[in-house]
Amino acid sequence: MRKNNFMLYGCLVLVGILVGSVLFVNPSAQAFWGDDKHVEQKKESKKIVIPQEQAITKVVDEVGPAVVSIITKKVKVSRDFFLNPVPRQVKGLGSGVIFDKKGYILTNNHVVAGAEAIKVILSDGRELQAKLVGNDPRSDLAVIKVDAKDLPVAPLGNSKQIDVGQLAIAIGSPYDVKFRNTVTTGVISAVNRTIRTKNGILENLIQTDASINPGNSGGPLLNSQGEVIGINTAIIGGSAQGIGFAIPINKAKKIVSDLIKYGKVKRPWLGIYGTDITEKLKNYYGLPVAKGVLIIQSVTDSPASKAGLSQGDIIIEVNREKIEGMEELKRIIKKQEIGDKLKLLVMDNNGGLTPVTVTLKEMPSK
């Protein structure tokens, strides 16, 4: 009997050893009992960086410091109960990008227009007073300047080389200065867009789905190489999402040069209001041609009026180049300089042709 008890005891000990060895060898059991020293150690997760993430972080590191917040003070006049004027000070917020070591900053005209004081906050926290160098309401661009040393500068790219679908990075100060240098990303959604804003019509814009919010205006739109390809300017409100617009940097380059040199943009001017001739318009008014520019009004004292152009005339050729509508006429005029002569071929309502030479003048600022 004692022998049987001894054998039973030995078997239990053996089973206990085997079970114990399983507990100490089995990782899941070790984890369960909390006896695994390796499980107690915090595992380090590897940071995997894909090429697009790498491009974005590189751009932000290199170009982000050149993006500034712009705070303006404007005076707006309202009326009290007795219709007396009551001036009040209003603060505005926008963004800008430093493009020259001399302290020149590119932004939107609507950010700084009418401002009594302009303050710039750099990415390093420095606050500087800025002065308006020049502004252009027609393109919604402006240049301001700060006096400071060791300023970071953003490289200007080539907006003619952008492709729909490529990466787009926007940096700015949405809603509040405490959100300055906010980065959003997306793609180039489309090019050559035209929109109507409360300040006028903007043409040939870049469309992007990178988030552009109030306060982002004037900030840069960048490509994956960290080059400025546009200046963020507008969003479509209401229920639309992911639809923002930027002024192509190539257009801005031409304007910036004039703003620094003259404080305004000098443009050649013909001085007409016109419309494209369509088949429908031709049939309705009995016009002799189906293509060209129909003059609706010739502005008083303009080059056009001084050359004898008047309402009802049809421009069908400019410098021996046939034109189909206003876009082609504007394209040709933009290539000219103030003082250049345009040779027009003009048709009257009876189909008679008359060559007319017009000397372009500087477009009035208003």
Structural contact between residues 209 and 189, judged by C-beta atoms closer than 8 angstroms: yes
Q: How far is CA 156 from the centre of its chain?
A: 13
Distances (CA, A) of 33 to 24, 29, 37: 10, 6, 11
CA dihedral 17, 21, 22, 26 (to 10 degrees): 160
Distances (CA, A) of 279 to 296, 326, 353: 17, 15, 20
Task: Please report which helix (H) or strand (E) contains residue 258, including its range.
Answer: helix 249-262
Q: Does 176 participate in catalysis according to the annotation?
A: no
Which tokens sit at 202? Answer: 């903007």
> 3-class DSSP state for residue 327?
helix
> 3-class DSSP state for residue 192?
strand
Closest C-alpha to 301, from 364, 247, 351: 364
First to last CA, the chain: 120
Q: Does 217 participate in catalysis according to the annotation?
A: yes
Structural contact between residues 328 and 316, judged by C-beta atoms closer than 8 angstroms: no
Number of H helices, E strands in the chain: 9, 20
Task: Please report which helix (H) or strand (E) contains residue 118, including its range.
Answer: strand 117-121
Q: Does 140 participate in catalysis according to the annotation?
A: yes
Closest C-alpha to 68, from 113, 127, 116: 127
Distance CA 273, CA 277 (A): 13
Structural contact between residues 99 and 130, judged by C-beta atoms closer than 8 angstroms: no
Q: How far is CA 225 from the centre of its chain?
A: 17
- The catalytically annotated residue of 217, 298, 302, 313 is 217
Residue type, 352: G
Distance CA 158, CA 250 (A): 6
Distance CA 363, CA 155 (A): 31
Which tokens sit at 15? Answer: 């089973």
- The catalytically annotated residue of 140, 159, 298, 313 is 140
- The catalytically annotated residue of 69, 95, 110, 173 is 110
Catalytic residues: 110, 140, 217
